[in-house]
Chains A and B, each alone.
Chain A
Amino acid sequence: MAGARFLAVQLDGRALLIDARVIQEVIGQCESVDVPHQSGELDGIFLWNGRAIPLVSLGNLASSGSEQASLSSHSARKRKRTLIFHAAGEWAGLAVDDASEIVELTQAQLLPVRHNPGPFATHEVDDGETIRSVIDLHAVVSRILALSSQRDGAFEQAQVGSGGAA
Chain B
Amino acid sequence: MEPQRDRGRSRNPNESTYLFLQGGRCALLGAAVDRVADFDSHFEGECISLEQLGLRSEIVLTPVRLLLLRDTPRSVGLVVRGPIEAQAVAAEDIIPLPPAFFGHSAFSALVRFQARQYSLLLAVRSLALREVS
Contacts and interface: CB of A to CB of B under 8 A. Distances in A.
Contacts of B43: none
A67 interface: no
Contacts of A158: 129-131
Interface residues of B, number: 30
A163 interface: yes
A61 to B, nearest CB: 13
Given A52-B110, A155-B129, A91 B101 contact: no
Contacts of B106: 36
Contacts of A165: 73, 129
A152 interface: yes
A45 B131 contact: no
Contact of A91 (B98, B107, B110): B98
A108 B117 CA distance: 49
A37 B105 CA distance: 8
Contacts of B128: 166
Contact of A47 (B100, B105, B110, B130): B110
B118 interface: yes
Contacts of B54: 36-37
A104 interface: no
Interface of B: 53-55, 71-74, 95-98, 100-107, 109-110, 116, 118, 120, 125-126, 128-131
Interface of A: 31, 33, 35-37, 42, 45, 47, 50-54, 89-91, 144-145, 148, 151-152, 155, 158-159, 161-166
Given A148-B100, A148-B103, A155-B129, 5 more contacts: A35-B107, A45-B97, A51-B98, A91-B98, A166-B128
Listed from nearest, the 6 A-B pairs whose CB atoms lie closest are A36-B54, A155-B104, A158-B131, A166-B125, A52-B95, A33-B118
